[in-house]
Amino acid sequence: MSMVKLVNVRKSFGNLEVLKGINLEIQSGEVVCIIGASGSGKSTMLRCLNHLERISTGEVYIQGELTDKREKNKDLMKIDPAKVQALCAELGMVFQNFNLFPHLTVIQNITVAPTIVKKVNKDVIEKTALVLLESVGLSEKRDEYPSRLSGGQQQRVAIARALAMEPKIMMFDEPTSALDPELVGEVLATMRHLAEEGMTMIIVTHEIGFAREVADRVIFMDEGVICEQGTPDEVLLNPKEERTKIFLNKIL
């Protein structure tokens, strides 16, 4: 089943065209890693999927349903905003800088969205939250404020927070880039665990080793286009495109 699909998506900021015609379809249960140089449009592509950014041209589908269809920054058809919001909520997102809510405790960070967006009963969601905290190994931190946690712990809370909305797809935008090297492992372990459970995942990362290990597909982006894609072995070990080779040589 198709989880997300981009059809000829273009995105410009003013005169700067950041995405130059992206076509991409991701199937249920797939783990896709996206690599590419800084400024190649990786984050922008993720953000276009959940409407944090509106595309300039093209079509976006979530679970086969149209969520965005535009031409020259104008909507080509009116799509029910409630439906769009519900579909976008199927996408969980984890950010490079965690973006935990500093004024809420760990458990409140996890429960706030389900209670106000989905109107889940407070007792029910607290139980779920505790299970999630357990699964990311942070049960004892439930009443701490984020400022008291290490970066790795904050990122694991952020993952639990996204999972509490029961997303069908998890997007990670460089989830370990802001972490000290010794904290990277614990976050990757959490993500590996999710992948093993069959979660559909889209991961922007510079951790090539991790990509080789968990990805079903690796996508190399360059200057706003998908330059090359394939299995980890194809893209990471035997890249066909010259630009992929140059990029891999630089970061390995």
Partner 1 sequence: MYLYEPRSNYFYDEGKINVLNETQLWAILEGTIVTLEIALVAIVVGAVFGVIVALGRISKNKVANALSWFYIWFFRGTPLLLQLFIIYYAIPIIYLEATGTSFQVDAMFCAFIAFSLNSTAYLAEIIRAAIESIDSGQMEAAKALGMSYRQAMTRIIIPQTFKRLVAPMGNELILLLKDTSLVSTIALFDLLRTVKTMASASGSWIYYIYAAAIYLFLTTIIQVVFDKMEKKLGVYER
- Interface residues toward partner 1, by CB under 8 A: 50-52, 85, 88-89, 91-93, 95, 97, 99-104, 112-113, 116-118, 145-148, 158, 161-162, 165
What separation, in Å, do the N-terminal and C-terminal C-alpha atoms of the chain show? 35
Which secondary-structure segment (H or E) carries 12?
Answer: strand 2-13
How are beta strands 200-204 and 169-173 bridged, if at all?
Answer: parallel
Nearer to Mg ion, 43 or 128 (CB): 43
Nearer to ligand ATP, 18 or 215 (CB): 18
The alpha carbon of residue 202 and the mean position of all alpha carbons in its chain are separated, in whole angstroms, by 5
Euclidean distance between CA atoms 175 and 152, whole angstroms: 9
Is residue 39 near ligand ATP by the rule CB under 6 A?
yes
Question: Least separation, in Å, of the C-beta of 178 and ligand ATP?
Answer: 11
Q: Which residue has 């460089």 as its token pair?
A: 174
- Residues in binding contact with Mg ion, number by CB under 5 A: 1
Answer for which of 38, 102, 197, 250 binds ligand ATP (CB under 6 A) is 38
Question: Least separation, in Å, of the C-beta of 78 and Mg ion?
Answer: 31
Question: Within 8-67, which residues bind Mg ion (CB under 5 A)?
Answer: 43
Nearer to partner 1, 50 or 176 (CB): 50
Question: Least separation, in Å, of the C-beta of 236 and ligand ATP?
Answer: 17
52 binds, among Mg ion, ligand ATP, partner 1, none (CB under 5 to 8 A by kind): partner 1
Q: Looking at beta carbons, which pairs linking 235-242 to residues 24 or more positions away fall under 8 Å?
A: 236/208, 236/211, 236/212
Nearer to partner 1, 112 or 248 (CB): 112
Structure tokens at 228: 């090359």
**CA angle (108 as vertex; 185, 158 as ends), nearest 5:** 25
